[in-house]
Amino acid sequence: MAGDDFVIDVSRIRDEARQKMADGAVTSTYGLDTGKVIAVLNDVVATEVVCWLRYTRHAISATGIDRAQVAAEFTEHAAEEMQHALRAAERIAQLGGEPDFDPATLAQRAHTDYTTPDEKDLKAMLEHNLLAERIVISTYQEIARWLGDHDPTTRRLIESILEEEEEHADDLTDLLAV
Ligand SMILES: [Fe+2]
Ligand SMILES: [Fe+2]
Protein backbone atom coordinates (compact mmCIF):
# COMPACT_ATOMS: atom_id res chain seq x y z
CA MET A 1 0.00 0.00 0.00
CA ALA A 2 1.20 3.49 -0.87
CA GLY A 3 0.34 4.69 2.65
CA ASP A 4 3.04 2.43 4.09
CA ASP A 5 5.67 4.56 2.32
CA PHE A 6 4.63 7.74 4.07
CA VAL A 7 7.51 9.10 6.12
CA ILE A 8 7.37 12.51 7.71
CA ASP A 9 10.64 14.27 8.45
CA VAL A 10 9.62 15.75 11.78
CA SER A 11 13.06 17.02 12.72
CA ARG A 12 13.33 19.04 9.48
CA ILE A 13 9.79 20.38 9.96
CA ARG A 14 10.58 21.34 13.58
CA ASP A 15 13.68 23.26 12.40
CA GLU A 16 11.76 25.03 9.62
CA ALA A 17 8.88 25.90 11.95
CA ARG A 18 11.33 27.80 14.18
CA GLN A 19 12.46 29.93 11.25
CA LYS A 20 10.28 32.88 10.10
CA MET A 21 8.11 32.70 13.24
CA ALA A 22 6.63 36.11 12.27
CA ASP A 23 4.88 34.43 9.30
CA GLY A 24 2.40 32.99 11.81
CA ALA A 25 0.12 30.46 10.12
CA VAL A 26 2.12 30.45 6.85
CA THR A 27 4.80 27.72 7.07
CA SER A 28 7.45 26.33 4.69
CA THR A 29 4.95 23.71 3.48
CA TYR A 30 2.55 26.38 2.14
CA GLY A 31 2.23 25.40 -1.52
CA LEU A 32 1.53 28.71 -3.28
CA ASP A 33 2.72 32.30 -3.55
CA THR A 34 0.80 34.01 -0.70
CA GLY A 35 0.80 37.29 -2.67
CA LYS A 36 -1.14 35.63 -5.52
CA VAL A 37 -3.63 33.98 -3.16
CA ILE A 38 -4.16 37.30 -1.31
CA ALA A 39 -4.80 39.07 -4.65
CA VAL A 40 -7.36 36.42 -5.69
CA LEU A 41 -9.04 36.65 -2.25
CA ASN A 42 -9.19 40.43 -2.50
CA ASP A 43 -11.14 40.08 -5.74
CA VAL A 44 -13.45 37.72 -3.83
CA VAL A 45 -13.87 40.40 -1.13
CA ALA A 46 -14.75 42.96 -3.84
CA THR A 47 -17.19 40.53 -5.49
CA GLU A 48 -18.95 39.80 -2.20
CA VAL A 49 -19.24 43.48 -1.28
CA VAL A 50 -20.73 44.29 -4.72
CA CYS A 51 -23.18 41.37 -4.31
CA TRP A 52 -24.12 42.67 -0.85
CA LEU A 53 -24.70 46.16 -2.33
CA ARG A 54 -26.80 44.82 -5.22
CA TYR A 55 -29.00 42.59 -3.06
CA THR A 56 -29.47 45.32 -0.45
CA ARG A 57 -30.45 47.89 -3.07
CA HIS A 58 -32.87 45.45 -4.73
CA ALA A 59 -34.42 44.43 -1.38
CA ILE A 60 -35.14 48.06 -0.53
CA SER A 61 -36.30 49.15 -4.00
CA ALA A 62 -38.49 46.17 -4.90
CA THR A 63 -42.18 46.96 -5.36
CA GLY A 64 -45.19 45.05 -6.68
CA ILE A 65 -47.38 42.18 -5.67
CA ASP A 66 -44.65 39.67 -4.78
CA ARG A 67 -42.48 42.28 -3.13
CA ALA A 68 -42.42 40.81 0.41
CA GLN A 69 -41.24 37.34 -0.59
CA VAL A 70 -38.61 38.56 -3.05
CA ALA A 71 -37.31 41.31 -0.76
CA ALA A 72 -36.99 38.83 2.12
CA GLU A 73 -34.89 36.52 -0.05
CA PHE A 74 -32.67 39.40 -1.22
CA THR A 75 -32.17 40.56 2.38
CA GLU A 76 -31.19 37.05 3.47
CA HIS A 77 -28.74 36.68 0.58
CA ALA A 78 -27.27 40.14 1.25
CA ALA A 79 -26.46 39.15 4.84
CA GLU A 80 -24.72 35.99 3.62
CA GLU A 81 -22.69 37.89 0.99
CA MET A 82 -21.43 40.21 3.72
CA GLN A 83 -20.36 37.19 5.79
CA HIS A 84 -18.53 35.81 2.73
CA ALA A 85 -16.64 39.11 2.37
CA LEU A 86 -15.65 39.03 6.04
CA ARG A 87 -14.52 35.40 5.92
CA ALA A 88 -12.35 36.05 2.84
CA ALA A 89 -10.92 39.17 4.52
CA GLU A 90 -10.06 37.17 7.68
CA ARG A 91 -8.19 34.61 5.59
CA ILE A 92 -6.26 37.41 3.82
CA ALA A 93 -5.14 38.69 7.23
CA GLN A 94 -4.16 35.16 8.29
CA LEU A 95 -1.98 34.89 5.17
CA GLY A 96 -0.22 38.13 6.14
CA GLY A 97 -2.08 40.40 3.71
CA GLU A 98 -4.28 43.50 3.93
CA PRO A 99 -7.97 43.10 3.02
CA ASP A 100 -8.87 45.65 0.33
CA PHE A 101 -12.27 47.28 0.91
CA ASP A 102 -11.32 50.42 -1.06
CA PRO A 103 -14.61 51.63 -2.61
CA ALA A 104 -12.67 53.35 -5.40
CA THR A 105 -11.71 49.98 -6.93
CA LEU A 106 -14.46 47.60 -5.73
CA ALA A 107 -16.47 47.62 -8.98
CA GLN A 108 -13.42 47.00 -11.20
CA ARG A 109 -12.17 44.13 -9.02
CA ALA A 110 -15.54 42.40 -8.58
CA HIS A 111 -16.40 39.42 -10.82
CA THR A 112 -20.01 40.66 -11.00
CA ASP A 113 -21.73 43.96 -11.80
CA TYR A 114 -23.73 46.34 -9.64
CA THR A 115 -26.97 46.70 -11.58
CA THR A 116 -30.23 48.53 -10.80
CA PRO A 117 -33.16 47.27 -12.85
CA ASP A 118 -36.53 49.05 -12.73
CA GLU A 119 -37.94 48.80 -9.21
CA LYS A 120 -41.25 47.40 -10.50
CA ASP A 121 -39.53 44.65 -12.48
CA LEU A 122 -39.03 41.92 -9.87
CA LYS A 123 -38.30 39.39 -12.61
CA ALA A 124 -35.41 41.51 -13.93
CA MET A 125 -34.01 41.84 -10.40
CA LEU A 126 -34.19 38.08 -9.89
CA GLU A 127 -32.52 37.52 -13.27
CA HIS A 128 -29.70 40.00 -12.59
CA ASN A 129 -28.96 38.31 -9.27
CA LEU A 130 -29.18 34.83 -10.77
CA LEU A 131 -26.71 35.85 -13.47
CA ALA A 132 -24.35 37.21 -10.79
CA GLU A 133 -24.64 34.01 -8.75
CA ARG A 134 -23.91 31.89 -11.83
CA ILE A 135 -20.79 33.97 -12.59
CA VAL A 136 -19.62 33.64 -8.97
CA ILE A 137 -20.26 29.86 -9.00
CA SER A 138 -17.99 29.53 -12.05
CA THR A 139 -15.21 31.82 -10.80
CA TYR A 140 -15.17 30.19 -7.33
CA GLN A 141 -15.05 26.72 -8.86
CA GLU A 142 -12.00 27.81 -10.85
CA ILE A 143 -10.39 29.32 -7.75
CA ALA A 144 -11.01 26.10 -5.76
CA ARG A 145 -9.43 24.01 -8.54
CA TRP A 146 -6.42 26.36 -8.76
CA LEU A 147 -5.88 26.16 -4.98
CA GLY A 148 -6.07 22.37 -5.17
CA ASP A 149 -3.96 20.73 -2.48
CA HIS A 150 -1.59 23.70 -2.23
CA ASP A 151 -3.73 25.62 0.28
CA PRO A 152 -6.46 23.34 1.64
CA THR A 153 -7.71 25.90 4.16
CA THR A 154 -8.40 28.59 1.56
CA ARG A 155 -9.85 25.96 -0.76
CA ARG A 156 -12.29 24.79 1.93
CA LEU A 157 -13.27 28.42 2.59
CA ILE A 158 -13.99 28.98 -1.11
CA GLU A 159 -15.84 25.65 -1.34
CA SER A 160 -17.98 26.50 1.66
CA ILE A 161 -18.85 29.92 0.16
CA LEU A 162 -19.49 28.21 -3.20
CA GLU A 163 -22.01 25.89 -1.57
CA GLU A 164 -24.01 28.91 -0.35
CA GLU A 165 -23.80 30.61 -3.77
CA GLU A 166 -25.31 27.47 -5.31
CA GLU A 167 -28.14 27.67 -2.74
CA HIS A 168 -28.65 31.34 -3.68
CA ALA A 169 -28.87 30.45 -7.38
CA ASP A 170 -31.34 27.69 -6.55
CA ASP A 171 -33.51 30.04 -4.41
CA LEU A 172 -33.63 32.60 -7.24
CA THR A 173 -34.47 29.92 -9.80
CA ASP A 174 -37.39 28.77 -7.61
CA LEU A 175 -38.69 32.35 -7.32
CA LEU A 176 -38.38 32.88 -11.09
CA ALA A 177 -40.43 29.72 -11.66
CA VAL A 178 -43.39 30.97 -9.54
FE1 LIG B 1 -21.21 35.32 -1.67
FE1 LIG C 1 -24.64 34.60 -3.45
Q: How far is the CA of 73 from the centre of ligand 2 (A)?
A: 11
Please indicate if the annotation marks 90 as binding a ligand.
Answer: no
Please indicate if the annotation marks 80 as binding a ligand.
Answer: no
pLDDT at 3: 61
Contacts 24+ apart (CB under 8 A), 112-119: 112/47, 112/50, 112/51, 112/54, 112/136, 113/50, 113/54, 114/50, 114/53, 114/54, 114/57, 115/54, 116/57, 116/58, 116/61, 117/58, 119/61, 119/62, 119/63
Domains of the chain and any CATH numbers: 32-177 (1.20.1260.10)
> Tens digits of per-residue pLDDT, 4-60?
789 999 999 999 999 999 999 999 889 999 999 999 999 999 999 999 999 999 999
Mapping DSSP to helix (H, G, I), strand (E, B) and coil, where does residue 93 land? helix
Q: How far is the CA of 4 from the centre of ligand 2 (A)?
A: 43
Q: How far is the CA of 24 from the centre of ligand 2 (A)?
A: 31
Q: How far is the CA of 16 from the centre of ligand 1 (A)?
A: 36
Flag whether pLDDT at 171 surpasses 90: yes
Please indicate if the annotation marks 48 as binding a ligand.
Answer: yes
Q: Which residues, chain by chain, have CB under 5 Å from ion ligand 1?
A: 48, 81, 84
> Tens digits of per-residue pLDDT, 91-136?
999 999 999 999 999 999 999 999 999 988 999 999 999 999 999 9
Q: Binning pLDDT at 50, 70 and 90, where does residue 1 land?
A: low
Q: How far is the CA of 118 from the centre of ligand 1 (A)?
A: 23
Q: pTM for this structure?
A: 0.93
